[in-house]
Structure 1
Amino acid sequence: MLTDLNINDEQELTARQQAVLDAVLGLLVEEGDALTMTAVARRASCSKETLYKWFGDRDGLLTATVQWQASKVRAGNYDLQHLDAAALRDSLEGFGANWLQVISSSTSVALNRVAVSHAGSGKSSLGQIVLANGRFAIGERLKPLLEAGRAAGLLAFEDTEAAFRTFFGLVGRDVQIRLLLGDALTLGAAEIARDAARATQQFLSLFGTETSRPKARFV
């Protein structure tokens, strides 16, 4: 289990610890489920004792790696007290593009493949680790923006979780499952930005008020 690291805030990680977690991600891409503490220590040029001190054990290391990868998805900067339609749209688009970029990376695909494998075989709790520190943690980052939009009269919904899941689905579509199943899908920066803008417009068409609802639709 984790020791005293707060992986959800990269400011709490030293550059050395970040390098170790990046090494884990690289090894997952190359070796998948064959990841060992010895291999990580060798790749990161550190001792296994250091790994155990920082992360506790292999599950702790994987938990930290999931948190590190998920920490790259941000809801953007916005003023809760002075949120307007433009800032809401920009923040939603930024979150969507950020999330698509992360989940379409080879490291996220490799990590999720290992998690799915573990969840199906009962090998470990990695599936739950990915859910708790990936999808659920990311949701908790975006929900305050959605609730701020509702408080400002820009969004209208009853259930925050349901609204988040709708946005999540509009952004992700079938991208993640196609990548997990080996589809050679390549998303460039321009395509990611376009998809995030389209998802935001669709979301605002569903949940926006007269103040924020888009006047035109994507085709």
Structure 2
Amino acid sequence: MPQADAIAADDAVTPRQGEVLDAVLELLVEGRDTLTMTAVARRASCSKETLYKWFGDRDGLLTATVRWQASKVRAGNWDRQHLDADALAESLEAFAANWLTVISSKTSVALNRVAIAHAGSGRSDLGRIVLANGRFAIGERLKPLLEAAREAGLIAFNDAEAAFRTFFGLVGRDVQVRLLLGDGLVLSKAEIVADAERAVAQFLMLYGRRN
């Protein structure tokens, strides 16, 4: 199928396209890891022709689904020209809370389980798709904030990727691994906020500028 009209990484997803991507996630949560365009079209009440027009092919659909899920993780609103310690902490906490909320959701757990299974069996490129459009894309979304904070003299580091990986580890701890392995861990909103604040405090203790 032609892919000329497939959704690009920086294109806005329309409400109707969002409904289709939510349908994909629903199917994954239900354990239907062998996704077909027919199954998605049936669940989303649309034609396969529309799916091919919007997403190009099955991998294009899966890529858009991963981006759709990862887009929920944001670093808050911050202004490079007026970035201070309070604004930095607030933005990092917003990112941490969003990320914990997303990775602990049933949809993310299902998507990651399928991606891991496919990566191990060589059945598809879903593992690569999730890595590129999930973890790596989220890192590129937060690094500008870290670099702006360094320019403002709020934190110090030599390598943005290393700093991000440290932050990522402090936020996630063992939560994602436990969920992927079937642990019944349930994080309340209050617990997520508290964990986000703790992770940011630890990160700033490690990377904060000491006068």
TM-score under structure 2 length normalisation: 0.95
CA distance in 2, matches of 1:4, 1:127: 20
Shift of the alpha carbon at 1:82? 1.3
Partners of 1:143 and 1:46 lie apart in 2 by 38
How much does 1:4 deviate? 4.0
Matches within 5 A, 1:52-131: 52-131=52-131
SS in 2 for 1:33: coil
Q: Which amino acid aligns with 1:34?
A: T
2:187 corresponds to which letter in structure 1?
L
Report the AA paired with residue 145 of structure 2. Answer: L
Q: Which runs of 5+ in 1 are unaligned?
A: 212-219
Moved more, 104-113 or 53-62: 53-62
Q: CA RMSD in A?
A: 1.3
Instruction: Write the distance in 2 (CA, Å) between the matches of 1:64 and 1:15.
Output: 14
Q: Deviations over 1:83-139 (max 9, x none)?
A: 000000000000000000001000000000010011101111111100110000000
**1:5 has 2:3 as partner:** no
Partners of 2:55 and 2:61 within 8 A in 1: yes
- Whether contact under 8 Å (1:8, 1:68) holds in the other structure is no
TM-score by length of 1: 0.92
Q: Residues of 2 paired with 1:3 and 1:182: CA distance? A: 39
Q: Which residue of 1 aligns with 2:152?
A: 152
- Measured in 1, the distance between the counterparts of 2:182 and 2:45 equals 31
Match of 2:198 in 1: 198
CA–CA distance in structure 2, aligned partners of residues 195 and 120 of structure 1: 32
Separation of aligned partners in 1, 2:158 and 2:204: 15
Separation in 2 of the partners of 1:103 and 1:2?
Answer: 32
Structure 1 segments, 4+ long, off by >4 Å, are: none
Q: CA deviation at 1:49?
A: 1.0
Distance, in Å, in 2 between the alignment partners of 1:34 and 1:4 is: 21
What count of residue pairs does the alignment treat as equivalent? 209
Q: CA deviation at 1:5?
A: 1.7
Letter in 1 for 2:93: E
Distance 1:6 1:199 in 2: 33
- Give CA deviations for 1:55-107 in whole Å, capped at 9, x if unaligned: 11111111110010001100111010110000000000000000000010000
> Structure 1 residues 33, 2: CA separation in 2 closer, same or farther (over 3 Å shift)?
farther
